[in-house]
Amino acid sequence: MAAQREWYEKDYYKVLGIGDDATPKDITKAYRKLARGSHPDTHPGDDAAEERFKEVSAAYDVLGDEVKRKEYDEVRRLGPIGGFQGGSPGGPSGYNFNVGSDGLGDILGHMFGRGRRGGGPSAAAGPQRGGDVEATLSLDFADAAKGLTTTLYLTSEAQCSTCHGSGAKPGTQPAVCSNCGGRGVIDDNQGLFSFSSPCRVCGGRGVVITDPCPTCQGTGAEHRAREVQARIPAGVADGQKIRLKGRGGPGRNGGPAGDLIVECHVARHKLFGRDGNNLTVKVPVTFAEATLGGDVDVPTLDGPRVMLRLRPGTASGSRHRVKGKGIDAKKGTGDLIVTVEVEVPAQLTDEQRTAVEALAAATTVSPRTRLES
Ligand SMILES: [Zn+2]
Ligand SMILES: [Zn+2]
């Protein structure tokens, strides 16, 4: 049986003065150096040195063994999960932990609630983080660009509205757990070491619910419709997910709530497009404006039109930048990218036709001469 609590509480990497990415060679090297400096043979009667030697040996016993090290890393990552059944303080000096090959399986078994004793949902071991909840939000183009605070209506696991998450029937109080006396942990003294594990009866909460809430049957959570205020930052893109910390499913046994993940759908705009924080817009101009140059007015997303000065001989399809008229997001302000499109009139007045015919007569060189090879 793995000494999981011990493992979780002790940073063996720190004991050996190495990083958790240390190679097996580094570990052995660090151990040899520290063991030499504190060996009882070279420090007779020095209790502090002996203590230090034991610590270093215990650390190396785990980190020096690739299988044990893997399990140790796993315990450190997952946290101490209930159901530690002590550990064997084997070895003649009492500091070698015997780790069964079922160490990891044991941890996972408890994660999924196997081998749980004591009834009721509150007997799950230790605090558990609530689940993440996903929601979608449809935004119009301008709101996505500017950001907004909105109300999301969703149906999900939420804190029970009858008991406010306590799990106890309103008007009743949870009782102090008789198994652990309200401490939430059970000590198991085994010679040199004392192992404590979360109480299996109360799941580490120190209290048990004798009169469960009728709405949630004592779980403290219910599936219900709820409203969540969400702040959507400026410049959110179509398909982007916003994580709202702690707004997801409620935690169990005093664990933290999960997150709410909002996937944003941004509608198209009839004039503007997006390119990161830049806005894009196509602006039609006349042949005369493009040829002679001049000021053309250009729409902006949320303000008055701005003037764009075209040089004489501006090409159709050319792009022009209007500084600072893009999306005003946290990560800088974008620009408005204007694509000029020369519009060819479908119909002409007599006056216009005369003018265009005069232009044609004055055009002596065809642009297609460039195509001759
Ligand atoms: Zn309830
Ligand atoms: Zn208890």
**Average pLDDT of the chain to the nearest whole number:** 81
pLDDT for 92 beyond 70: no
Bigger pLDDT: 174 or 92?
Answer: 174
Q: Report how far ligand 2's centroid is from the alpha carbon of 176 (Å).
A: 8
Regarding beta strands 336-342 and 278-285, do their DSSP bridges make them parallel or antiparallel, or are they unpaired? parallel
Please give the distance of CA 270 from its chain centroid, rounded to a whole number.
34
Closest-CA residue to 342 (of 280, 281, 282, 286): 286
Q: Report how far ligand 1's centroid is from the alpha carbon of 248 (Å).
A: 17
The ligand placed nearest to the CA atom of residue 207 is 2
CA distances from 371 to 72, 232, 360, 361 (A): 75, 54, 20, 21
**Confidence at residue 288, expressed as pLDDT on a 0 to 100 scale:** 94
pLDDT for 320 beyond 90: yes
User: Would you say 12 and 3 are in contact if contact means Cβ atoms under 8 Å apart?
Assistant: no
* Residue 302: count of CB within 10 angstroms of its CB: 9
The ligand placed nearest to the CA atom of residue 160 is 1
Distance (Å, whole) CA 22 – CA 25: 8
Q: Report how far ligand 1's centroid is from the alpha carbon of 156 (Å).
A: 15
The ligand placed nearest to the CA atom of residue 216 is 1
State the Cα angle at 206 between 204 and 208, rounded to 5°. Answer: 100
Q: Is 290 left (phi over 0), alpha (psi -120 to 50) or beta?
A: alpha
Q: What pairs with residue 190 in β-bridges?
A: 193
Q: Report how far ligand 1's centroid is from the alpha carbon of 173 (Å).
A: 12
| CA atoms within 13 Å, Cβ hemisphere of 255 | 24
Q: Report how far ligand 1's centroid is from the alpha carbon of 170 (Å).
A: 8
- The lowest-confidence range among 117-121, 208-212, 302-306 is 117-121
CA distances from 238 to 134, 141, 160, 175 (A): 16, 9, 33, 50
Give the tens place of pLDDT for each residue, 114-128: 333 333 444 445 678
pLDDT for 330 beyond 90: no
Q: How confident is the model at residue 79 (pLDDT cuts 50, 70, 90)?
A: low
State the Cα angle at 354 between 350 and 356, rounded to 5°. Answer: 115
- The lowest-confidence range among 41-55, 128-142, 156-170, 209-223 is 41-55
The ligand placed nearest to the CA atom of residue 163 is 1
- The protein residues having their C-beta less than 5 angstroms from ligand 1 (an ion) are 160, 162-163, 213, 215-216
The ligand placed nearest to the CA atom of residue 204 is 2
Q: Report how far ligand 2's centroid is from the alpha carbon of 178 (Å).
A: 6
The ligand placed nearest to the CA atom of residue 184 is 2
